[in-house]
Amino acid sequence: MSKLVGTTLGQYQILERLGKGGMAEVYKAYQPSLNRHVAIKVMHSYLANEGDFVQRFEREATAVARLRHPNIIRVYDFAHHDQLYYMVMEHIEGYTLKDDVEQRRERAKDSGDETATSYTLPELAYILTALASGLDYAHAQAIVHRDLKPANILFTREGQAVITDFGLVRQLDAPSQTATGIVTGTPAYMSPEQAQGESVNHLSDIYSLGVILYELLTGRTPYQSDTAYSILVKQASAAPIDFAHPQIPPQLVPILQKVLAQDPDARYQRAGEFAQAFRQAVGITVDDLVNTGGHNDMFAVTAARANTDSHPTTVPTIKANCPYRGLFAFREEDAGFFFGRETFTQRLVSLVDNQPLLPVIGPSGSGKSSVIFAGLVPRLRRQTDWLVASFRPAHNPSPLWRPPSCPSSSRKWAK
């Protein structure tokens, strides 16, 4: 499909090939109607007759197109032309986290200094917090990535961390289209349950985020082997992980042990909870990460060149608006920054599970909307038997409570 360069696909002029994967190739293209560059992910033509692959490809586009978060790639369109199925996404000029890790490894090899691969604690806090924010938002929409790894994390030129390549995405509220026993993903970053071909949920993504942190600390993933099969065996058999690695600070050992627990229920239940535990352990607050200058990017880890070194080095800087909402209520996508109401939120979860109507009443400005939308709703979405709906006052509100698509009585409702 490299022959596509120089041709037109729909309304898009194909300029160059950016990369190739097992399922698709990615191209840089120009969209004349909007005078912008985009990235186009084109499924391999030989897969077009495989219904499962087409469905998976379309499922990725449909799922990610619903997401609006600064740390998640934007999807603009999905179409097909002459048996070529393609997805149109925002084009990001930058580099992947994998690129940066490999550059550091080369630098360490050249210098003979193993510590040259390591990221500083502030760098790790920035990266982890940004990725956790994007993951929590996706998980709140019942979307699981299932292939989180450094190659699927992009940094813009300004340093914005962006999660991309949701090719193995699955919606938790949809039937599984991957048979139990079929392993999908990248072995080194898989959770044990994923390595065994079991059904996975958002806790598998959190495990993968833990693997990424381990690699950024030590320069290697927890399980090493010459073959993917051997790595899968280690993952599935609960082979011991080296938490005594000299590059792992002692205060981070219990955090890594928890996020990389074999039992999913023993892990952090939210990516933001994991990031918060990391920040607390290293003495970094969210306020430390934020520069309230007038820039719209959230978290940035910018690449710069040191005056005395020809190699790029990652320099932590933050160009962001304050993530706190001020006089406005927190939204669902702000769940990763909603702290301090965990006990109250958990009480709401318990109460709403046991009574059909739960009014949340308080003075204006006391945080009712915030605790509902950034606290309660994300937790309810992780339970597959909830349908979350939001209603506004109207002259005749009763029809809103009897929508034509009203689920069966076995489903729960939350407002």
At 195, list the tokens: 């390595």
- The one-letter amino acid at 92: I
Q: In whole angstroms, what is the distance from residue 412 CA to residue 391 CA? A: 16
Is 147 annotated in the active site? yes
Q: In whole angstroms, what is the distance from residue 413 CA to residue 18 CA? A: 45
Question: In 10 A of CB 278, how many CB atoms?
Answer: 24
Contact 160, 70 (CB under 8 A): yes
For 141-169, letters b (16+ CB in 10 Å) and e give bbbbbbbbbbbbbbbbebbbbbbbbbbbb
Q: In whole angstroms, what is the distance from residue 114 CA to residue 274 CA? A: 27
Question: In 10 A of CB 90, how many CB atoms?
Answer: 16
| Selection from 10, 9, 128, 144 nearest residue 64 by Cα | 144
- The one-letter amino acid at 78: F
Q: Which of 147, 165, 205, 334 is catalytic?
A: 147
CA triple 283-285-287, angle to 5 deg: 145
Q: Give helix 121-140 / helix 271-282 axis angle, nearest 10°.
A: 160
- Please list the active-site residues: 147
